[in-house]
Structure 1
Amino acid sequence: MNYNTIILNKIGAISTIIINRPKKLNALNKETIEELHDAFKEADSDKDTKVIIITGSGEKAFVAGADISEFSDFNASEGKMLAAKGQEQLFDFVENLSTPVIAAVNGFALGGGLELAMACHFRVASSNAKLGLPEVSLGLIPGYGGTQRLPQLVGKGRALEMIMTAGMIDAAKALNYGLVNHVVDQSELLPFCESIANKITQNSSVAIAAAINAVNANYKTCVNGFEVEIDGFGASFGTADFKEGTTAFLEKRKAEFPGN
């Protein structure tokens, strides 16, 4: 598939999505959100892709926010529809993908950019990264899941401080808060993410998908995460990956998971 605002590359079992609007600091507009949805869907549907990495083009920004010019004249109902459609089309979609998604946060991750990074399964930041949710400085609140995912990651107090001050935190503070898993130099960001991805690819993609589903269940209302875990654990015993994994362990060899 051809894209205008993103680049989708695949090397081995790793697909990398690059948001490619450097003149706009990779800001999210309607077209970019739609293309990201399609790219994630394409990569997730590829049985040979075991991990997806998402990053921004250049060294200045992962995503510096949403393209404000597209919604500055919206009314209340249009604003509500914008948030609802965006969450369904991209942010919730990414969070619930069965393929692991790593956000390689290079530079600014603000507003919708931080919300996209938080929707990924975990985050690695470059040492020059700046992260924040500045929406209240525009008379808005975060609309792509920021008020929900940020407290889950850093706690209620820190989340409210970040949201209410509309300020940015640097990579070191993001690491201290638990907002990112690792901080590395800019030049090492993608190689480091790829090294983690390569470790992931050695494991059962079926089991990983079930683990993602079980972990996410803990954050859903009216869902018992423990029951989801129990169901997923039991279902694992009926997979070819379980048979291969246990057989390889007993035979003291490296497992070659079939992915089913």
Structure 2
Amino acid sequence: MTQTPATAAVVQPDGEITLTVDGQIAIINIAREKKLNSFTIPMVEELESHLAVIDDSEDVRVVIVTSAGDRAFSAGADIEAFSRLSATRMWSTWIRRGHALFDKLAGLRQPSIAAIDGNAFGGGLELALACDIRVMAADAKVGLSELGIGTLPGWGGTDRLQRTVGVARAKRMIFTSLMVDAPTALDWGLVTDVTERSEVVAKAREIADQIATRAPIALQMSKQIIDGQSGQGLRLTLEALGSAASSATDDFVEGVSAFRNKRHPEFTGSFDDPASRAALHE
């Protein structure tokens, strides 16, 4: 499904989750086709590593998450992998790390797009829900099917799904393991775009290219504000924006200078003066 552009610089290509960077677009590809792109602990670790690279990048402006093959976007967690864990290890390793991983994806500075070019069940849908925008194949289905095997969504699905489609529809999907088709997903706001399977990645790239033309700092702040207003990390959003604003003042420059020179600061309440900012780095 995913073809790496000829100009792409491949970053950390080993393993079953790969990362390529093509200009300002990062492409994460889940490449475990024979197992329906289901997740194992090593794959969780690979994705953690890739997200750290993206988060640290000053060049990447948009992220696309896609998958290999034409059978599934992701079937979620590998049942064989987690069913062998004890209850304690299930909690300490599988659930907690999965939560942290998808929170990291959702909390990236850069907007992310899930290219759902096949069925997405369980953790596969939870992965897509952690992205900001979702493009879905017209013949695909999505759902949280965990109750069918005696467990429940464990990687943020109960929270993100109800915030996306509403409480009643989330309950309908989770309680009955309802598999939602593309027209319904679009109608419910679960996805933003539906297109033919062969065009899903291209559509995601089209949207990514549009986003990449926007002013990057304003774009990233917009994402954080929208997420904060919707209840996702409001405290952290306020702290981050407040810290960013205060660091753009002359008082910040004065405070750092006074600290360095072991004197009392003289604050003025004025905003950033290029001359004083330059002096900070002398």
When normalised by structure 1's length, the TM-score is 0.84
Change over 3 Å in CA distance of 1:182–1:66 after alignment to 2: same
| Structure-1 separation of matches of 2:22 and 2:127 | 23
Deviation at 1:45, TM superposition (A): 2.1
Question: SS state of the match for residue 83, structure 2?
Answer: coil
How do 1:118-133 and structure 2 match up within 5 A? 118-133=129-144
CA 1:165–1:18 in 2, change beyond 3 Å: closer, same or farther? Answer: same
Structure 2 stretches lacking a partner, 5+ long = 1-11, 250-282
Looking at structure 1, the residues matched to 205 and 95 of structure 2 have their Cα atoms a distance apart, in angstroms, of 32
Query: What secondary structure, in the 3-state scheme, does the structure 2 residue paired with 1:98 have?
Result: coil
Q: Is the CA contact (8 Å cut-off) linking 2:162 and 2:169 kept in structure 1?
A: yes
Against the structure 1 CA distance between its residues 83 and 230, is the aligned structure 2 distance closer, same or farther, given a 3 Å change threshold? Answer: closer
Asked if structure 2 preserves the Cα contact closer than 8 Å seen for 1:214 and 1:228, the reply is no
Counterparts of 2:88 and 2:112, CA distance in 1: 32
Say yes or no: does 1:24 pair with 2:35: yes
Q: What's the Cα RMSD here?
A: 2.3
Query: Residue 61 of structure 1 is aligned with which of 61, 72, 83?
Result: 72
Q: Which residue of 1 aligns with 2:269?
A: none
Q: Say whether the 8 Å CA contact 2:117–2:201 is kept in structure 1.
A: no
Pick aligned residue for 2:245 from 229, 235, 247 = 235
The reply on whether 1:48 has 2:78 as its aligned counterpart is no
2:187 to 166, 171, 176: 176
CA contact (8 A) 1:217 1:228 kept: no
Structure 1, residues 73-117: CA drift from partner, whole Å, max 9, x if none?
3333222222112111x1000000001110000111110000000
Name which one, 1 or 2, has greater alpha-carbon Rg.
2
For residue 95 of structure 2, the aligned residue among 66, 83, 87 is 83
Alignment CA distance shift 1:49-1:162 (3 Å): same
Letter in 2 for 1:205: P
- Quote the offset at 1:50 in angstroms: 1.1
Letter of the aligned partner of 2:59 in structure 1?
A: D
Match of 1:247 in 2: none
Distance 1:236 1:117, change over 3 A: farther
Does the CA contact (< 8 Å) of 2:227 and 2:233 recur in 1?
A: no
Q: 1:43 to 1:220 in 2, by over 3 A?
A: closer
* Residue 151 (1) aligns with residue 172 (2): no
Q: Which amino acid aligns with 1:21?
A: R
**Preserved CA contact (<8 Å) 1:123 1:180:** yes
Q: Which range moves more in the overlay, 155-164 or 70-79?
A: 70-79
The farther-off stretch of 8-17 and 164-173 is 8-17
Task: State the SS of the aligned residue for 1:71.
Answer: helix
Match of 1:205 among 213, 216, 232: 216
Aligned residues: 236
Farther off after superposition, 145-154 or 50-59: 50-59
Contact 2:38–2:78, Cα closer than 8 Å, also in 1: yes
CA contact (8 A) 2:228 2:234 kept: no
Whether the 8 Å CA contact 1:52–1:99 is kept in 2: the answer is: yes
User: Gaps (5+ residues) in structure 1?
Assistant: 240-260
Greater alpha carbon shift after TM alignment, 10-19 vs 41-50:
41-50
Distance 1:138 1:50, change over 3 A: same
Task: Identify the residue that residue 115 of structure 1 maps to in structure 2.
Answer: 126
Rate the CA distance shift 1:73–1:129 in 2: closer, same or farther, 3 A. Answer: same
Write the distance in 2 (CA, Å) between the matches of 1:8 and 1:105.
17
Instruction: Give the secondary-structure state (helix, strand or coil) at the position aligned to 2:142.
Output: strand
Contact 1:63 1:112 in 2 (8 A): yes
> 1:62, 1:113 within 8 Å by CA — same for their partners in 2?
yes
